[in-house]
Amino acid sequence: MEKVSRIYMPPASAAIRRFRCKRPQTSPAVRIDPMRIPLFHVDAFTGHPFRGNPAAVCFLDSWLDEAHLRKVAAENNLSATAFLVRRDSTHELRWFTPRCEVKLCGHATLASAHVLLNLKTPELDSVTFETKFHGTLTVWRDVQMLAMDFPAIPTKPRFSAPSGLLDALGLQSESAHALEGDNAYILVVEGTERVRNLRPNFALLETLHPFVAVVTSKDTDVDFVSRYFAPSYGIPEDPVTGSAHCALGPYWAKRLGRSRLHARQLSERGGELWCEVAGDRVLLKGRCVLTMQGSLSI
pLDDT of 16 over the 50 cut: no
Q: Is residue 273 part of a domain?
A: yes
Instruction: Give per-residue pLDDT as tens, 4-14.
Output: 445 445 555 44
% of the chain residues with pLDDT over 90: 84
pLDDT of 196 over the 80 cut: yes
**Once rounded to an integer, what is the mean pLDDT over residues 172-196?**
93
Q: In sequence order, what DSSP letters do the residues of 248-269 get, joined into one string?
A: HHHHHHHHHT-SEEEEEE-SSS
Same domain, 117 and 147: yes
Q: Is residue 23 part of a domain?
A: no
Instruction: Give per-residue pLDDT as tens, 274-285.
Output: 999 999 999 999
Same domain, 200 and 227: yes
pLDDT at 10: 52
CA proximity to 74, closest of 55, 99, 54, 94: 99
Q: Is 208 left (phi over 0), alpha (psi -120 to 50) or beta?
A: alpha
pLDDT at 105: 98
pLDDT at 172: 84
Q: Is residue 15 part of a domain?
A: no
**Once rounded to an integer, what is the mean pLDDT over residues 91-101?**
97
User: What is the C-alpha separation between 163 and 171, in angstroms, rounded?
Assistant: 10
Same domain, 214 and 162: yes
Same domain, 186 and 272: yes
Instruction: Give per-residue pLDDT as tens, 134-178.
Output: 999 999 999 999 999 999 999 999 988 888 999 999 998 778 899
pLDDT at 91: 98
More confident residue, 222 or 23: 222
Same domain, 138 and 61: yes
Structural domain containing residue 196? 156-279
pLDDT at 162: 86
Instruction: With residue 16 as reference, give the H or E element that holds it.
Output: helix 12-19
pLDDT at 23: 53
Same domain, 122 and 177: no
Cβ partners under 8 Å of residue 10, min gap 6: 18
Instruction: Give per-residue pLDDT as tens, 35-66.
Output: 899 999 999 999 999 999 999 999 999 999 99
CATH code assigned at 184:
3.10.310.10
pTM of the model: 0.88
Same domain, 147 and 106: yes
pLDDT of 131 over the 70 cut: yes
Q: Is residue 22 part of a domain?
A: no
User: What is the C-alpha separation between 181 and 178, in angstroms, rounded?
Assistant: 10
pLDDT at 160: 87
Q: How many structural domains is the chain composed of?
A: 2
pLDDT at 17: 44
pLDDT of 194 over the 60 cut: yes
Same domain, 213 and 177: yes
Q: Is residue 197 part of a domain?
A: yes
The answer to whether the beta carbons of residues 238 and 79 sit under 8 Å apart is yes
HSE toward the beta carbon, residue 85, CA cutoff 13 A = 11
Average pLDDT over all residues of the chain:
91
Q: Is residue 239 part of a domain?
A: yes
Same domain, 114 and 223: no
**Once rounded to an integer, what is the mean pLDDT over residues 116-141?**
97
Q: Is residue 29 part of a domain?
A: no
Same domain, 267 and 160: yes
Instruction: Give per-residue pLDDT as tens, 204-232.
Output: 999 999 999 999 999 999 999 999 999 99
